[in-house]
Structure 1
């Protein structure tokens, strides 16, 4: 079993007969000087010296609109702030799971020549640096959550009590839609999508001076590394798409929007658990979620955040396929074109 796991590639088939792209410009020459694991200190969450509450706001409420809903507001300001702390815990736990279960396995495969592609040697070496970066992101997120719990005396739920992150179930659903011959490729696709989107998601939090300095510094460290990862995984896409056969492109292309939604759509089930935890009934929790995240509002937000990914896949030629184009339109990632109209991208 272990030998089989070691030999398994993300993309099946003979890599030597696939079209190769040799261009690669490394952004990791100064990794030793720039990477947070090499240059940034461990971020501590200190208790206030005067015994006052450790923080007034742990997460931007605009990014977690359930706390602004009247049914939640009626529970009082303390409850709303506690929900924002839960959201910070969720963000930290999401980071741990994303890095360990989605990004590191893919980067490790690339670094060991098991991507299913023939990539430049420097590109494989840089993937190992990404493995190191992502392991540190998972570690400092895990460690920081423990520090917050110890300081605030408000524990985060154990992983066994919160279920798996929503993105994992969504990836399982996506994999089930793929022909067996291309299963495994969804992992590489999701890594490309998540790593080219996460730097944008992280950009606002470090500038929010309502949050504790240590939270802002932690996210800033993460965002700086992810900016380099963004460029790297954009390059991975540029190597991947030309190497795919027409059949593989037709199979995986329509699943790109599913990968985008797997990463960007809110974790409704986790929020539902939090709302039950503050005393709402199941019907009230469903109402809060539905009214806080109206479907069309979520779709517009995802489309706005996903614009870079749409552009990269368009440039790669993915949307030249009619089924792929249709899937992007149905997902709301691009405007549906009238019959006979030319594309506007």
Structure 2
């Protein structure tokens, strides 16, 4: 339902000079998002085999999220101001890409019921920024372990995106 396929086109549009940083930011954000989504799914009442599968996968993804969060903290300490500016921009853009609804997927899904599909699209488009705040928690916790938000310019960008107060 959400625009995960948009990440590929996003990646192709980014600077070749910062391609490794772009890849890292995509992985850092996606691993945290996957762990968050699996945690929510594993809370629902599911048949035992499915519940066990979600929990096993959650443990794996949780380890990935922790690893990439720690990598982010270490990376932030070592990159230049120019690279930091780029990383902040990319983190905000990647979070938005992952949280916006994938309109073409939804239209395909509701092809036989376009009225319902349009209602779903309108609802998801109106709530994607709230979703971004909801699922960005693990990413923000890693960011808070750095001095990123001590920089007034970066803090302002995260405030403008609605991610910090």
The normalised TM-score by structure 2 is 0.83
Go from structure 1 to structure 2 and tell me whether the alpha carbon gap of 1:286 and 1:312 turns closer, same or farther (over 3 Å shift).
same
- Distance in structure 2 (CA, Å) of the matches to 1:306 and 1:257: 10
User: Would the aligned equivalents of 1:257 and 1:328 in 2 still touch at CA under 8 Å?
Assistant: yes
Instruction: Indicate yes or no: 2:110 matched with 1:280.
Output: no
- Distance in structure 2 (CA, Å) of the matches to 1:202 and 1:260: 17
In the other structure, the counterpart of 2:49 is 214
In the other structure, the counterpart of 1:63 is none
Instruction: Indicate yes or no: 2:37 matched with 1:201.
Output: yes
Which runs of 5 or more structure 2 residues have no equivalent in the other structure?
none
Instruction: Indicate yes or no: 2:57 matched with 1:225.
Output: no
In the other structure, the counterpart of 1:172 is 9
Which runs of 5 or more structure 1 residues have no equivalent in the other structure?
1-86, 88-164, 336-345
Deviations 1:76-104 (A, max 9, x none): xxxxxxxxxxx8xxxxxxxxxxxxxxxxx
Figure out how many residues of one structure are paired with residues of the other and give that number.
165
Structure 1 residue 309: Cα displacement: 1.2
Go from structure 1 to structure 2 and tell me whether the alpha carbon gap of 1:212 and 1:272 turns closer, same or farther (over 3 Å shift).
farther
Structure 1 residue 189: Cα displacement: 0.8
Instruction: Indicate yes or no: 2:93 matched with 1:261.
Output: no
Higher Cα Rg: structure 1 or 2? 1
| 1:295-334 map, 5 Å | 295=126, 297-334=127-164
CA RMSD of aligned residues (A): 2.5
Instruction: Indicate yes or no: 2:72 matched with 1:234.
Output: no
In the other structure, the counterpart of 2:79 is 244
- Distance in structure 1 (CA, Å) of the matches to 2:9 and 2:147: 26
User: Would the aligned equivalents of 2:95 and 2:136 in 1 still touch at CA under 8 Å?
Assistant: yes
